[in-house]
């Protein structure tokens, strides 16, 4: 992506692209830009990704919107980002989350989830549920019918985000309770489940009863929900 930036009254073309041969450590490591200087319809996404790259552990800062930012757009762009990053967890799960062993989408023995991707919701293997859920979320979030703009979103469309959150959260819960080692490695790198949990609590997109993955503090102790 190429972005125009003004410096000292002039303009400079800044290339924001990972060129062939870019090392993993240097991936997307271009110069940070203040939000109010991001002149693009994708400015909110760009800002969120920039803040994540700066420090993925600083969940509060990542979820802290710029002043005057539309709340609906902010929630929408964060959910898009969550789904994009969750694809990374889905790829890692494929190594051991097999249809033969994980025949249902479960979280402990108490929760069995039905997959809404079918004409009538029904059980399907956990890895298929994961793929179907992320595909369905992508279709909805990229729908021109519900989300034709990245700048302004109707309240009726924002209201659909809660159901997406409930479904994609189940991917975290299955990974935590049934593929703990994979979950821990992914979470230690991305802090994605913690960020997602704080996000849905902040905007009341899920009830506490459905947030079954315990969030741990730096010492490994469960955090208080107070």
Determine the pLDDT at residue 151.
87
Angle at 142 between CA 29 and CA 26, to 5 degrees: 10
Question: Residue 11 domain-assigned?
Answer: no
Question: Residue 49 domain-assigned?
Answer: yes
Question: Residue 28 domain-assigned?
Answer: no
Residue 120 DSSP symbol: S
C-alpha 193/C-alpha 85 separation (Å) is 10
Tally of structural domains, the chain? 1
pLDDT digits (tens, 9 = 90+) for 120-162: 989 999 999 999 999 999 999 999 999 998 889 999 999 999 9
Q: Is the predicted pLDDT of residue 23 greater than 60, yes or no?
A: no
Report whether 124 contacts 132 (CB < 8 A). yes
Question: Residue 31 domain-assigned?
Answer: no
Question: Residue 30 domain-assigned?
Answer: no
pLDDT band at 6, cuts 50/70/90? Answer: very low
Q: Which positions ≥6 away from 177 have C-beta within 8 Å?
A: 106, 107, 108, 213
Question: Residue 101 domain-assigned?
Answer: yes
Question: Residue 145 domain-assigned?
Answer: yes
Q: Is the predicted pLDDT of residue 92 greater than 60, yes or no?
A: yes
C-alpha 90/C-alpha 85 separation (Å) is 9
The residue assigned the tokens 């609906």 is 72
**Among 2-6, 151-155, 163-167, the least confident range:** 2-6
Q: Is the predicted pLDDT of residue 212 greater than 50, yes or no?
A: yes
CATH of the domain at 41: 1.20.140.30
Question: Residue 63 domain-assigned?
Answer: yes
User: What residue numbers bound the domain in which 55 lies?
Assistant: 36-210
Determine the pLDDT at residue 2.
43
């Amino acid at each position: 992506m190429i972005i125009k930036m003004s410096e000292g009254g002039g303009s400079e073309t800044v290339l924001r692209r990972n060129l062939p041969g870019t090392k993993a450590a240097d991936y997307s490591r271009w110069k940070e830009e203040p939000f109010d200087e991001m002149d693009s319809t994708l400015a909110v996404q760009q800002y969120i990704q920039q803040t994540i790259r700066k420090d993925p552990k600083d969940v509060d800062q990542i979820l802290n919107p710029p002043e005057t930012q539309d709340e609906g757009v902010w929630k929408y762009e964060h959910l898009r980002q969550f789904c994009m990053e969750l694809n990374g967890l889905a790829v890692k799960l494929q190594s051991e989350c097999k249809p033969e062993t994980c025949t249902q989408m479960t979280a402990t023995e108490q929760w069995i989830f039905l997959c809404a991707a079918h004409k009538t919701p029904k059980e399907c293997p956990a890895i298929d549920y994961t793929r179907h859920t992320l595909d369905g979320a992508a279709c909805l979030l990229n729908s021109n019918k519900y989300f034709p703009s990245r700048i302004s979103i109707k309240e009726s469309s924002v209201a659909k985000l809660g159901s997406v959150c409930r479904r994609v959260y189940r991917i975290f819960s299955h990974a935590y309770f049934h593929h703990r080692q994979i979950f821990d490695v992914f979470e230690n790198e991305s802090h994605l489940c913690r960020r997602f949990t704080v996000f849905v609590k902040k905007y009341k997109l899920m009830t506490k009863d459905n947030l079954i993955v315990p969030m741990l503090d730096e010492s490994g102790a469960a955090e208080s929900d107070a």
